[in-house]
Amino acid sequence: MGKKFAKEIFHGICRDLTHEGKGVVLNQSNDPVFVPGIFPGEEGDIEITYKRAGALFGRVVSLSKTSPDRIDPKCRICSSCGGCCFQQYSYKAQLEYKSKKVKEQFRKIGKMDVDVLPTVGMDVPYYYRNKIQMPFGKDEKGNVYCGFYKENTHVIVPVNECFIEDQRATHILQVVKKLMKSFRVDPYNEDSRRGIIRHVLIRTSYYKKQVMVVLVTNVDVFPSRGNFVKELVKECPEITTVVQNINSRSTNVILGEKERVLFGPGYIEDSLCGLWFQISAKSFYQTNPVMTEKLYSLAMEAAHLKDTDIVLDAYSGIGTIGLVASRSVKEVISVEIVPQAVRDAIKNAKRNGVVNFREYAADASDFIVKYAKEGGKIDVLFMDPPRKGSDEKFLNAVLKLKPKRIVYISCEPSTLARDVAYIANSYEIETIQPVDMFPQSFHVETVVSLLRKQRE
């Protein structure tokens, strides 16, 4: 949290939205103040609440003019929890914002003026998340609560019902809270570093009736663990596996190294684009199953795959994109850094009877440099890096390998724009297609289709 201010209120108009969905309102000195929960064209009294890295942040005290795009949110706490900055913004306006944001990031960071297609939206933009992770706390009366951290703080905003998560998770969290109280399994306290449960992570399968609960604990062994789990699966028969993850470090990272399966197989299964996938606790899996199928089919379309193609799926997670592509090409090579995800990918290939697929456990940049050195060949590259994007080492090797097409899938437009600009001399942008994987939030997923320029 930044520096506190003496109360300062001013009246202003919201001019724009930032890439993090905050309204931009100019104060009397014409300095921008970043304010959540106010939309372009709206006017109101704003209180400046803090300053961070030279920027001013505020909150809406009252609105005197509201936007026609303002709607009643489903969730009462959407303005304090920080997860859904757009629940009060019409879905149409959210989708328009996302395309505009991608264009802006290409202009600002990539220094490129690009056309961006309208964002593909979700028919019912609620209850979509198949993964939630929540920290826990305890009030003076000994009642356990869980929720989300208030933005830029470690203060938990208690959440009883979340309108973007799978409803099975809502029920399980109620039972976990009740059992923690009755078994005296205390939430972990970051200041005293005492207590047991740090986070609970729940993963739900969309197509199969399977649910994974991961209890992230501060200690390896805790009293009544066996009975706690027994009672949990008795009260929630929808749970098919329970994993304990031990994280005793003082860190913001949720999952620790060590894991123990307490119930069931230690993974869940789900289906995507007609294939089956096994998903372990630490493996990445897209969080919006309905939109993932749309995303992947757009990515396949953008790739124009041929049965003679050699494909590289970089940053592959559990092998989803590569396995979907394997049906249309000669061979798929896939690379991923998290060992659990690599193991899942190998099993997923076997389980789906895919034989033209190889998965490597490595840093994508190290792998591709070596592959290029050894005279490897790639016709089509799928790359889907984490938010921080790829790096020059990876992109330089791509420029050497000269794949005919690149399909870049990204959850962070700023690093996407940076990376695309880096290879823009050799690759022409065919389409930039945002997909709304994260309705009600400011986040957006984008598929960029790139074609190698002829003169290369």
Q: Please give the positions annotated as active site.
A: 411
Exactly one of 320, 348, 410, 415 binds ligand SAH (CB under 6 A); which one?
320
Is residue 364 near ligand SAH by the rule CB under 6 A?
A: yes
User: Cβ 287 to ligand SAH, closest distance in Å?
Assistant: 10
46 versus 409: smaller Cβ distance to ligand SAH: 409
104 versus 309: smaller Cβ distance to ligand SAH: 309
Which pairs from 202-205 meet CB under 8 Å and 24+ separation?
Answer: 202/131, 202/132, 202/133, 202/166, 202/168, 202/169, 202/172, 202/173, 203/130, 203/131, 203/268, 203/279, 203/281, 203/285, 204/130, 204/131, 204/166, 204/168, 204/169, 204/268, 205/130, 205/268, 205/269, 205/270
On whether the CB atoms of residues 332 and 311 are closer than 8 A, the answer is yes
Single out the segment in contact with ligand SAH by CB under 6 A; choices: 105-113, 116-124, 238-246, 379-387. Answer: 379-387
Q: Closest Cα to residue 267, out of 257, 254, 277? A: 277
Is residue 348 near ligand SAH by the rule CB under 6 A?
A: no
Exactly one of 179, 236, 341, 346 binds ligand SAH (CB under 6 A); which one?
341
Secondary structure element (H or E) that encloses residue 233, with its range: helix 225-235
Is residue 415 near ligand SAH by the rule CB under 6 A?
A: no
Q: Which x/- pattern over 382-411 shows residues binding ligand SAH (rule: CB under 6 A)?
A: --xxx-------------------------
User: Cβ 315 to ligand SAH, closest distance in Å?
Assistant: 3
63 versus 337: smaller Cβ distance to ligand SAH: 337
Is residue 316 near ligand SAH by the rule CB under 6 A?
A: yes
Q: Which residue is nearest to ligand SAH (CB)?
A: 317
On whether the CB atoms of residues 42 and 67 are closer than 8 A, the answer is yes
Single out the segment in contact with ligand SAH by CB under 6 A; choices: 35-43, 70-78, 88-96, 280-288. Answer: 280-288
Is residue 321 near ligand SAH by the rule CB under 6 A?
A: yes
* Count of residues near ligand SAH by CB under 6 A: 18
Q: How many helices (H) and strands (E) does the chain have?
A: 10, 21
Exactly one of 112, 337, 354, 421 binds ligand SAH (CB under 6 A); which one?
337
The footprint of ligand SAH (CB under 6 A) covers 284-286, 315-317, 320-321, 335-338, 341, 363-364, 384-386
